[in-house]
Structure 1
Amino acid sequence: MSALVPLSESPPAPAPALVAAAGERAAYRFLEFFTAQIRNPNTRRAYVRAVGAFCAWLDGRGLPSITAVSSIHVAAYVEELGRRHTAPTVKQHLAAIRMLFDWLATGGVLPFNPATAVRGPRHVIKRGKTPVLAPDEARAILDAIDVGMPIGLRDRALIGLMVYTFARIGAATAMRMEDVYVQNRRLWVRLHEKGGKAVDLPCHHNLESYLHAYLDGTGLSGDGDGPLFRTVGRGTGRLTRTPLPAANAYAMVRRRAEAAGIATKIGNHTFRATGITAYLKNGGTLERAATIANHASIRTTQLYDRRSDEVNLDEIERILI
């Protein structure tokens, strides 16, 4: 099967042989699905992997064309996938397959969507798995950062942004200089969240202080069209004009947590969950938290609410042996 490549690479790879066998219309519709239908780059990458794995599986079973796929094939693949992967992974793969076949069916390549009748594994989430820090632990990480260097100012501002705005790391690292602005004598930030939605929020006074220190201390205030959070040049200690990748941010927060003596294995999402939990503990509402976090459903926000953890621990400590 021909390998699928990200949209940013040129020229694009041809459709898999399994799809090309169904004709030019099928091949065009297949590539159109990934280039024109899916706008989020993270979703596109995930769906490319999922569909690529499914096509390779079909090839291995000798199917001559994508038009020969039936619900039985999809069901067999999902069952096999479930023996090797978790339920969320299987559901994501099935969602990608369903969307692709729906796109092919509406384009006249297939008479119907063979994946519609296939049910995915049952998976109910009542509590999120993202590690959450206590407020004093989050404060310890922020206070332990040496802000005598540009990298320290950057890291404190980035972590502060995730804590005080519940920002996803993708939205944070995608920010430009113009996404930090003054309104009504207060510093505001604009986050470009999922679905292309722009979320404008006033800064918490701590975050305002961190951002001012970062922009003034690094001389970025005059660079109006560059990325907000940037990589640091090797051997120079100076910020470049290259946006900070999310993977680098993950390594950074792990390093900062370790330096502050935090044993919890945290990630970028930890600060989002920590901020939401702290907000709710201090009288915030789930509805408002969902709005700030740009969650489509309050049920998603509830996964970040760890107030019950303290109750559970108190009950466990009643076992006096």
Structure 2
Amino acid sequence: MPTLSNFLSEFDSKHTRRAYRTDLHRFLREMEMEADAADFAQIDTKEIEAFLGTLKEEGLSTSTIRRRMAAVRRFFDWLVSMGHLSNNPCRAASLTVSASEEKAQSPAVLTKEDLRALQRAADDNTRTGTRDRALVLLIVYGALRRSEVASLHLEDVRPLGRHWVIDLPRRGQVPGGYIKIPERGAEAVQDLVEVYGEETGPLWRSFSNRNWGEQMSPDALYKRVRQLGKKANLENVDIQTLRRSALHLASDAGASLEQIRDHARLQRGTSAVAYTGDTSEASRLQSTAVDFLEIDV
């Protein structure tokens, strides 16, 4: 199987190579594969659909999503042309991105009362209700992405010193880390421990007759959050909506850009601005790095 380095060597322009390298490394991190040791024949359309879903959840612009998908598509076209794959899994009709999706990617931010309504929709005394209550609380308190939610195990929610944390596991080349959560979130997980009768293993499990006890997939978790939103009479609620809403509420309550960036696990400080209530230029210029430069001339 040819490697990503082989593909990049096809381009003369260093700028083109850098652009493709950036987008394809992002894709491979999501696939949990090493760039030059990946078995691309194992990647199917469903996995690429999940990657597209992750890009949409991150609130990226339609043009950015199209660019990243185009890079993946061209790379797989190259693999087919080299005779190493019989077809391109990126060519499925389900992988198109329309301009009209841009608004759908950015649903309204939920208020505190909306989140309370969502919690009430999940809050009953059944096994499913216990799981759903923990699901909503951990997404909100941890400002979790879909991939992060799906990766969790019971033992990942634990005490650390005087605090409760989500010990976010490392996924491929994406580092994990500790995410502080309130005691209420930890108590919801402990309730789930009692339901399962186990202290280890997947955090989210199915209670349907067809696949009882099996770990829920990222798609199943995504659909469950949307169902809870409809039950609470809230439109277009998904995991990214809860993540965005939590960070907006934290900002409104006084959290700094640095605190938003750290809690959201954002690589760039400027990305945190999208999760704050005030994104004006005046606010951005209120305090910048240049304020700390004192040079006597």
- Asked whether 1:91 is paired with 2:62, we answer no
Q: Is residue 6 of structure 2 the alignment partner of residue 29 of structure 1? A: no
Q: Pick one of 259, 263, 269 that aligns with 1:292.
A: 263
What is the alpha-carbon distance in structure 1 between the residues aligned to residue 226 and residue 251 of structure 2? 25
Range with bigger deviation, 154-163 or 226-235? 226-235
Rate the CA distance shift 1:234–1:166 in 2: closer, same or farther, 3 A.
same
Q: Distance in 2 between matches of 1:244 and 1:204?
A: 24
Which residue identity is paired with 1:202? K
Amino acid of the structure 1 residue aligned with 2:240: H
- SS, match of residue 202 in structure 1: strand
Shift in Å, 1:193: 6.1
Q: After the TM superposition, which residues 1-321 of structure 1 pair with which residues of structure 2 at under 5 Å, given as runs?
A: 28-29=2-3, 38-41=28-31, 86-96=62-72, 129-192=106-169, 195-216=173-194, 218-220=195-197, 222-224=198-200, 226-234=201-209, 240=213, 242-262=214-234, 264-306=235-277
Structure 1 residue 180 displacement after superposition: 1.6
Please list the CA deviations of residues 61-113 of structure 1 after superposition, one character each: whole Å capped at 9, or x if unmatched. Answer: xxxxxxxxxxxxxxxxxxxxxxxxx5234311344478889xxxxxxxxxxxx
The count of aligned residue pairs is 216
TM-score between both structures, scaled by the size of structure 1:
0.57
What runs of 5+ residues in structure 2 fail to find an aligned partner? 8-23, 34-39, 49-61, 78-101, 281-297
Deviation track 1:158-207 (CA, whole Å, cap 9, x = no partner) reads 11111011111211111122212222254321123664311212221321
Counterpart residue number, 1:79 = none
Change (3 A) 1:31 1:153: farther
State whether residues 193 and 199 of structure 2, in contact with CA within 8 Å, keep that contact through their aligned partners in structure 1: no
What residue is the counterpart of 1:59 in the other structure?
none
Mapped partners of 1:258, 1:100: distance in 2? 38
1: CA distance between counterparts of 2:128 and 2:168? 22
Aligned to 1:20: none
Is residue 141–residue 246 contact of structure 2 (8 Å, CA) maintained in 1?
Answer: yes
State how far apart, in whole Å, the 1-side matches of 2:221 and 2:271 are: 24
Fraction of identical pairs, as percent: 19
Q: Decide whether the 8 Å contact of 2:152 with 2:168 is kept in 1.
A: yes
Structure 1 gap segments, 5+ residues each: 1-26, 53-85, 102-124, 310-321
Give the number of the structure whose alpha-carbon radius of gyration is greater: 1
Change (3 A) 1:252 1:99: same
